[in-house]
Amino acid sequence: EEGGEDQNKSLKRDADEEDGEDQNKRLPKRKIVLLMAYSGKGYHGMQRNVGSSQFKTIEDDLVSALVQSGCIPENHGEDMKKMSFQRCARTDKGVSAAGQIVSLKVRLIDDILEKINNHLPSHIRILGLKRVTGGFNSKNKCDARTYSYMLPTFAFAHKDHDVQEEVYRLDKETLERVNKLLACYKGTHNFHNFTSQKGPRDPSAKRYIMEMYCGEPFVRENIEFAVIKVKGQSFMMHQIRKMIGLVIAIVKGYAAESIIKRSWGEEKVDVPKAPGLGLVLERVHFEKYNRRFGNDGLHEPLEWTEEEEKIAVFKEQYIYPTIINTEREEKSMANWLNTLSIHDFNSSAVEMQANNKTSKNSSDLEGSDGSDGDSD
């Protein structure tokens, strides 16, 4: 009798699960956006490489969770075009995000966010969901992207007369100089020297930067850090890391200030690329979409004010500790600073081409820092 009761319960549970699955299959698919936050350490970037299990990406874990929660059929996971999947920014190896947006068609099941998150590791969270227009594409409809870059302030210590270790503290004058240099990037410039595989006459090398500045320093685990914020229409592969790398080289005394303007000309300039560790996709902006559809009575504007507290908590729990602990253990910034002396900031284009042929840097194959096929 007892065995019969257990068997009945088991059969009922199986039947309930099947009913749930059938019900899911009957649900109409709707176009939505998901607000994502993740710590990128240990991942080979955001974008999935179907057929390549060698390099784990954030999207591998996301797609698996979408299938397991019943939001999408299994075959949509294998061919992401079937669910009209589009990420807003293609973040690079090791890069984190606090406000990534993906658009896709899903079955709007009950408790959808909770169910997706139940199948995700704790360092990847879906923090919000909104319905969007059927033709919405998170990459194409994005007007601008804001990134932050958290770095230890000893990166700005002058090579000849400052202490180069963690005891360094950033003074007001140096911070002002850093901000003066970062402000030079504002506006539209030719950033062909800040990425790979783009020539000086390629129109797509011109990019528009809205703002760039470094905030006040703060101390964590006895190391002083600062956060640089940059907002731009879109960014090319490695562009942000090279923009920051060049400013560090100037402030440390390796390069003259004039190199920034020179880098926008046709001449090839040796621009160092800062480590990927501190880079975080903070938020993506949809101002034009919000003006057109945000108050049409059917759709909400793509603003995430209600989720801001959750975003802040996630950064404190997963993103900042990862950056701080990895910097302490692996010394990625300290090790990179030691390579600045081997860059030639005065070389001519001819010399640069000769050097490039003899030593192709493998790190250029990492992917992008962020936003579209060729971009951050």
Catalytic residues: 92
Q: How many CB atoms lie within 10 A of CB 67?
A: 17
The rounded distance, in Å, linking the Cα atoms of 119 and 40 is: 17
What 163-171 contacts at long range (C-beta under 8 Å, 24+ apart), as own/partner pairs, is 164/334, 164/337, 166/222, 166/223, 166/224, 168/224, 169/217, 169/224, 170/217, 170/224, 170/226
Q: CA neighbours within 13 Å on the CB side: how many for 209? A: 22
Question: Measuring CA to CA, how many Å separate 257 from each of 158, 248, 263, 278?
Answer: 14, 11, 11, 24
Determine if residue 43 is labeled as part of a ligand binding site.
Answer: no
What would the two tokens of residue 246 be? 């060049």
The rounded distance, in Å, linking the Cα atoms of 172 and 285 is: 32
Amino acid making up residue 15: A
Question: Measuring CA to CA, how many Å separate 145 from each of 15, 199, 213?
Answer: 47, 24, 15
Mode of pairing for the β-strands spanning 144-152 and 223-232: antiparallel
Query: Taking a C-beta distance cutoff of 8 angstroms, is the pair 62, 340 a contact?
Result: no
Give the residue ranges of DSSP H helices in the chain. Answer: 2-26, 58-69, 74-78, 112-118, 172-183, 239-251, 259-263, 287-293, 308-314, 320-330, 332-337, 349-358
Mark the binding-site residues for substrate, compressed into ranges: 147
Mark the binding-site residues, compressed into ranges: 147
